[in-house]
Amino acid sequence: MRQIYRMSLKGIAWIATAFAGWNFLGDWLAPDYCLDFSGAFDYVNWRCSYDDGEAFPYIAFAAYSLPSFQLFAGLLVLAIVLQVALRRPRTDA
């Protein structure tokens, strides 16, 4: 029974990490998607505009400044720690 709890906890941690990673990937690729479809991307407000009159300057930004990256990184560390901490003890010693 204890093994089921361990596996469930690790599975939930990895699913949450994958979901957060998917959200981060969407945020990270948002400027490219906007520009590919002839939009203008506002890097300050992080939004896409399809108004013909708008033009926004490019602003370099770091991936770690996105809140979705911070959530993804935190959940990734948590999932790795749980994976190591809840591993099965070796019985072949």
Domain parsing of the chain, residue ranges: 12-85
Give the residue with greater pLDDT, 36 vs 93. 36
Question: Highest mean pLDDT range out of 2-16, 53-67, 79-93?
Answer: 2-16
Q: Please check whether residue 16 is in contact with residue 80, taking contact to mean a CB–CB distance below 8 angstroms.
A: no
**Per residue in 17-55, pLDDT tens?**
999 999 999 999 999 999 999 899 988 888 899 887 788
Q: What is the per-residue pLDDT for 93? A: 55
pLDDT band at 83 (very low <50, low <70, confident <90, very high): very high
Characterize 58-68 residue by residue with b for buried, 16 or more Cβ atoms within 10 angstroms of its Cβ, and e for exposed. Answer: eeeeeeeebeb
**Which of helix, strand or coil describes residue 56?**
coil
